[in-house]
Amino acid sequence: MVHFTCDLCGKDITSSGEDRFVVKMEAFPGFDPNEIKEEDLEDDPMEAVSDMIQRDEAFGPLDHESADDACRRKGFRFDLCPSCHGKFLRDPLGKSHANVFDFSKN
Ligand SMILES: [Zn+2]
């Protein structure tokens, strides 16, 4: 039997019989839409964007940079209990914690 614990509070979700919520996040370097030139937009704009992304990859990192690139592209997956899931939905980036930290410094 697969065993799940909440990644935030450590609560055993499996034995508590509560619902389990999975949160997936991905972080990667964005590209600037303003860099798309007019000639790229002659055809289907979505196609131009995907062309650009493919071109981007073609001129992508050199071999010695691939590890760095992997570091810049991160995927996260969390198992959360219902109460932590509720907290996550209210504050996905933990901004309230950041504010508390700022105030405590003053
Ligand atoms: Zn939890």
Indicate the domain borders of the chain. 13-60+68-105
Largest Cα–Cα separation, the chain: 59
Taking the centre of ligand 1 as the mean of its atom positions, its distance from the CA of residue 83, in whole angstroms, is 6
Structure confidence at residue 11 (pLDDT):
94
- Structure confidence by residue, pLDDT tens digits, 35-63: 766 666 666 666 666 666 665 555 554 45
Separation of 16 CA from ligand 1 center, angstroms? 11
Can you read off the two tokens belonging to residue 39?
């000639």
- Cα separation, 4 vs 20, whole angstroms: 8
Write out the two tokens for 17. Answer: 């019989």
For residue 94, the CA-to-ligand 1 centroid distance in Å is 14
Query: For a pLDDT cut of 70, what percent of the chain falls above it?
Result: 57
Q: Give the model's pLDDT for residue 71.
A: 65
Q: Residues near 26 by Cβ (< 8 Å), separated by ≥ 6? A: 73, 74, 75, 76
Instruction: Work out the mean pLDDT of the chain and round it to a whole number.
Output: 77
> Which of 27, 11, 42 minimizes the C-alpha distance to 76?
27
Distance of CA 21 to the CA centre of its chain: 16
